[in-house]
Chain A
Amino acid sequence: AQKVTQAQTEISVVEKEDVTLDCVYETRDTTYYLFWYKQPPSGELVFLIRRNSFDEQNEISGRYSWNFQKSTSSFNFTITASQVVDSAVYFCALSEGSGRNQFYFGTGTSLTVIP
């Protein structure tokens, strides 16, 4: 079974709209870490955020915000007032706290922001 599910394969929004990218994860570990990465057309995955399983506080960084809910095993990512430069593939990943830094990635959500 896939440990990280990103059900949205592709999303298109018009510039300045808000958009939420969904991420659902599955783990039996009580300690784990969740990550979001952005992959622009250049190919390099860019780290955006890490969230620990014991910290459910939502986080905001500029136009980006993350909603972590353990009750629903979700770690959703919202971009407010989207811009063309936000067009990329976004990946959610899980690292389980069993000591090894093995990432389980979702299949990614391709976001296109239309000017």
Chain B
Amino acid sequence: ETGVTQTPRHLVMGMTNKKSLKCEQHLGHNAMYWYKQSAKKPLELMFVYNFKEQTENNSVPSRFSPECPNSSHLFLHLHTLQPEDSALYLCASSLDFIAYNEQFFGPGTRLTVL
């Protein structure tokens, strides 16, 4: 595997389900990100981890819970979601959390909440 991988690619869940999204990067990076992409809106940064420590939480509802066990893996735990949470969730990584570093993105998980 190379780059940034995400599983699953598609997920359909009910409002009472609990599920997790997984992201893995094979680039030796130290910073990882979760973004939400909704139609006609800019990508929304949700969480940032730098060297496994959470550095950013952009007012994300508590029904989204991130976990970063090591610099290569990032999870997003989902519970009691709402239909408006349906979106493409993108994971990204960069060398570290410094302004000039480009971010490398995974293919995303298309989430549908019924």
What residues of A have a CB within 8 angstroms of the CB of B110 in the complex? 43
Residues of chain A touching chain B, judged by Cβ–Cβ distance below 8 Å, are 2, 4, 9, 31-33, 35, 37, 42-47, 50, 52, 91, 95-108
B99→A42 contact, CB < 8 A: no
Closest chain A CB from B111 CB (angstroms):
12
Cross-chain contact B88 with A47 (CB below 8 angstroms): no
A101 surroundings in chain B (CB, below 8 A): 31, 48, 94, 96-101, 103
Q: What distance in Å separates the Cβ of A7 from its nearest Cβ neighbour in chain B?
A: 13
Q: Within 8 Å CB of B97, what residues of A?
A: 100-101
In whole Å, how far is A79's beta carbon from the nearest beta carbon of chain B? 20
Contact assessment for B90 and A45 in the assembled complex, using a CB-CB cutoff below 8 Å: yes
Partner of B40, one of A2, A44, A97, A107: A107
State whether the Cβ of B42 lies closer than 8 Å to any Cβ in chain A: yes
What would 4 more interface pairs be, CB under 8 Å, given A101-B94, A101-B96? A32-B99, A43-B108, A100-B56, A102-B48
User: Could you tell me the distance between the alpha carbons of A60 and B37 in the complex, rounded to whole angstroms?
Assistant: 29
Q: How distant is B5 from chain A, measured CB to nearest CB, in Å?
A: 10
Q: Assess the B102–A47 pair: CB atoms within 8 A.
A: yes
Instruction: Report the Cα distance A52→B107, complex, angstroms.
Output: 27
Tell me the smallest distance from the CB of B105 to a CB of chain A, in Å.
Answer: 4
Contact partner of A95 among B42, B55, B100, CB < 8 A? B100
* A102 touches which of B56, B88, B96, B100 (Cβ 8 Å): B56
Check B45 for interface membership: any CB of A closer than 8 A.
yes
Residues of B within 8 A of A2 (CB): 42
The listed residue with most A CB atoms (<10 A of its CB), out of B41, B43, B99, is B99
Beyond A2-B42, A105-B42, is A100–B99 a contact (Cβ under 8 Å)?
yes
Question: Residue B64 at the A interface, CB < 8 A?
Answer: no
| CB–CB B107/A42 < 8 A | yes
